[in-house]
Amino acid sequence: MGRCSLLLLLLLIAFLTPGAANPVSPSLRAPSSLPWSTSFRSRPTITLKYSIRYIQQKMDSSPLSHQRSPKLKCFHVDHFGFNIDRTFKQRYLIADNYWKEDGGSILFYTGNEGDIIWFCNNTGFMWDIAEEMKAMLVFAEHRYYGESLPFGADSFSDSRHLNFLTTEQALADFAKLIRYLKRTIPGARNQPVIALGGSYGGMLAAWFRMKYPHLVVGALASSAPIWQFNDLVPCDIFMKIVTTDFSQSGPNCSESIRRSWDAINRLAKKGPGLRWLSEALHLCTPLTKSQDVQRLKDWISETWVNVAMVDYPYESNFLQPLPAWPVKVVCQYFKYSNVPDTVMVQNIFQALNVYYNYSGQAKCLNVSETATSSLGVLGWSYQACTEMVMPTCSDGVDDMFEPHSWNMKEYSDDCFKQWGVRPRPSWIPTMYGGKNISSHTNIIFSNGELDPWSGGGVTKDITDTLLAIVIPNGAHHLDLRASNALDPVSVQLTRSLEVKYMKQWISDFYVRLRKMN
């Protein structure tokens, strides 16, 4: 365990355990009659003031793009080729309310797989520290997500149009944008830039520092599973952490979920089973064939994963509107593992409503949706079929899921069927070093113990400047979210440490700058 994580653990382990859940009757209720208010109660909304801007990025000159956009500032879509006569608009946000030219800094959010305004609104940490850091905030949208579509409506039409959706191209976009901002904003030229990001964006922040250390003085990589590739970590670590979250949040919770899969299977095999399941779970689209049952179970599994990821200590609406400590709330419906199959399915329905109907507005449950539409599902599907191959598996014994082995051939065939491409599972470790990253400096890797992705993250200090912070009772990039009165002390200390290190990077930058002058 790293020095920072050990410090937090020793300080907080005695008093950070959430309270026990209250029992709830397993009786079946309609989605509109759940045992909580039908109006979602989030903390008061704070208006974030930023300007939305676009930079004209250049694209490959192949005939894939049907029309040339007006030229503004020209950056390449294919930064590593030389056919550069076509452009697309890349969106970015800027907030300079607290920015100071004298001793200031630039906090640069490395956009990930979704709409950048959505990520901006869910990264309150940057806004909270902007004044203290005298910082300009920049949120850069990732190519192929949000409004930054290189080929417009044709961007996802086939693998030829998607060929430029890679981490390398995205990092080059960020590098070009920083150079452009420093060249065009008076006072920004000689200011330090720090990269910040969460989840995939956290991976990009770390990789950005590794590949462009002359542009960013450091990086905060929150919930960044940079080792969830090849055999760098066991493929079952992700599902084990999800299971631990549930087992610690209520008696018999994980065991009930483990038994629920067979209950669904048995009911599905009965004569009217598919119809009964559809009605009991209030599905928008009824189950009609046996293949639908596996799709249903996959959807339920993904739901439990998402609940674990966003197990925040307060009401939130990151993936869906949710109550505080949603895993605990879900586990209220799984107190009893030895129940009839029909009761088990009724309990599943109640638990699913915690995630899909906390607002009280849903009339039925849609198995085609698990998260906000602000996430770019198509783009990420392609990335997962090319570079971002992150193996997961389960055995149904040490975790609460059905057994599922990692089959690279099957995975590759599915990718080829969908996109006409074959994944390169070794490319990310080859490109970014895997676990051999000790030559790099000034990266903070923060991970919440509740976050399933922490299994693929850096959880121990590598060097004195590659630092790991483990957050007890912390879920997915909780430290990047806005400060909340219900935050565990662990995340408050984490943010203080992160600010301390970032201030040191900024101070070191200005010391070097003065020496040069």
Contact 392, 225 (CB under 8 A): no
Mean pLDDT of the chain: 87
pLDDT-wise least confident of 177-181, 202-206, 371-375, 417-421: 371-375
Q: Which residues pair with 447 in a beta bridge?
A: 470
pLDDT at 46: 52
Tokens of 137: 């905030």
- Of 417, 411, 370, 94, residue with least CA distance to 230: 411
pLDDT at 375: 80
pLDDT at 291: 93
Q: Which residues pair with 375 in a beta bridge?
A: 114
pLDDT tens for residues 303-349? 999 999 999 999 999 999 999 999 999 999 999 999 999 999 999 99
Residue 385 has pLDDT above 50, yes or no: yes
How far is CA 142 from its chain centroid?
A: 14
Is residue 51 very low, low, confident or very high in pLDDT (cuts 50, 70, 90)? confident
How far is CA 324 from its chain centroid?
A: 19
Write the single-letter amino acid at 293.
V
Regarding beta strands 86-95 and 51-59, do their DSSP bridges make them parallel or antiparallel, or are they unpaired? Answer: antiparallel
pLDDT-wise least confident of 10-19, 244-253, 277-286, 423-432: 10-19
DSSP 83: -
Residues near 361 by beta carbon (within 8 Å), at least 6 away in sequence: 38
- The residues carrying an active-site annotation are 199, 451, 476
Contact 144, 162 (CB under 8 A): yes
Residue 45 has pLDDT above 50, yes or no: no
Residue 65 has pLDDT above 70, yes or no: no
Distance CA 145, CA 155 (A): 10
- Of 96, 95, 89, residue with least CA distance to 117: 95
Residue 201 has pLDDT above 80, yes or no: yes
Regarding beta strands 218-222 and 193-198, do their DSSP bridges make them parallel or antiparallel, or are they unpaired? Answer: parallel
Percent of the chain past pLDDT 70, that is, above it, reads: 86
pLDDT tens for residues 391-412? 999 999 999 999 999 999 999 9
Residues near 404 by beta carbon (within 8 Å), at least 6 away in sequence: 393, 394
Is residue 75 very low, low, confident or very high in pLDDT (cuts 50, 70, 90)? low
In terms of residues, how long is the chain? Answer: 517
Helix 290-309 / helix 237-247 crossing angle, nearest 10 deg: 70
Tokens of 324: 């505080």
Other C-beta atoms closer than 10 Å to the C-beta of 224 total 31
pLDDT at 47: 62
pLDDT tens for residues 3-44? 343 333 333 322 233 333 332 222 222 222 222 333 323 333
Distance CA 488, CA 12 (A): 9
pLDDT-wise least confident of 26-35, 117-126, 251-260, 270-279: 26-35
pLDDT at 87: 78
Q: What angle do CA 339, 345, 346 make, to 5 degrees?
A: 90
- Of 274, 272, 250, residue with least CA distance to 264: 274
Better-predicted residue by pLDDT, 78 or 337 = 337
Residue 3, helix vs strand vs coil? helix
Report the chain's C-alpha Rg in angstroms.
23
Residues near 227 by beta carbon (within 8 Å), at least 6 away in sequence: 233, 434, 435, 456, 457, 458
DSSP 434: T
Better-predicted residue by pLDDT, 31 or 500 = 500
Q: What is the rounded average pLDDT of the residues 451-468?
A: 98
Better-predicted residue by pLDDT, 128 or 51 = 128
pLDDT at 113: 95
Tokens of 139: 């949120």
Residues near 403 by beta carbon (within 8 Å), at least 6 away in sequence: 394, 395, 396
Residue 177 has pLDDT above 60, yes or no: yes
pLDDT-wise least confident of 21-25, 45-49, 158-162, 270-274: 21-25
Is residue 85 very low, low, confident or very high in pLDDT (cuts 50, 70, 90)? low
Tokens of 180: 């452009």
Residue 394, helix vs strand vs coil? strand
Which secondary structure element, helix H or strand E, spans residue 345, and what is its range? Answer: helix 341-356
- Of 305, 450, 472, 478, residue with least CA distance to 392: 305
pLDDT at 43: 39
pLDDT-wise least confident of 10-19, 157-166, 252-261, 470-479: 10-19
Distance of CA 99 to CAs 107, 130, 188, Å?
Answer: 10, 8, 10
| pTM given for the model | 0.87
